Amino acid sequence: MEAALAEAKAAGVRGEVPVGAVVVGSDGAVLAAAGNEVEAARDASAHAELLAMRAAARAMGGRLAGCDLYVTLEPCAMCAGAMVHFRLRRLVFGAYDPKGGGVEHGARVFAAPGCLHVPEVLGGVREAECGDLLRAFFKDLRT
């Protein structure tokens, strides 16, 4: 989660919503890391999770079975849906997102009937630190 937080902080400095993600292989090695690039790429799908999973899949030559994703914010429904198709082993996230989350809130993608793959989920890891980073970013944005 430390590496995901570093990616989130770097994204915030770039003017992006400070969300960071890291994909770790079954051996514990970091396969890919990314921060949000929505504004820079002018691409609403350039979420940290998708960027990291795409890069890791290229490195792995396909799906991400046996891999874990660490992300600083509960993933949205789009990213959770991608996790299903990438076949992640585990999702570890920091802050919960009652408004836009798609795992524990909102669409609850992994709980949907017919979900093709359900990763292990661990939420709330370093929740306060991840949440504080987001709150500070949006407070600064409003002032």
Q: Tell me whether residue 49 is one of the annotated catalytic residues.
A: yes
Q: Which of 49, 120, 127, 129 is catalytic?
A: 49
Transcribe the chain into DSSP letters: -HHHHHHHHHHHHTTS---EEEEE-TTS-EEEEEE--HHHHT-TT--HHHHHHHHHHHHHTS--TT-EEEEEE---HHHHHHHHHHT-SEEEEEE--TTT-SSSSTT-GGGSTT-S---EEE--TTHHHHHHHHHHHHHHHH-
- Which residues are part of the catalytic machinery? 49
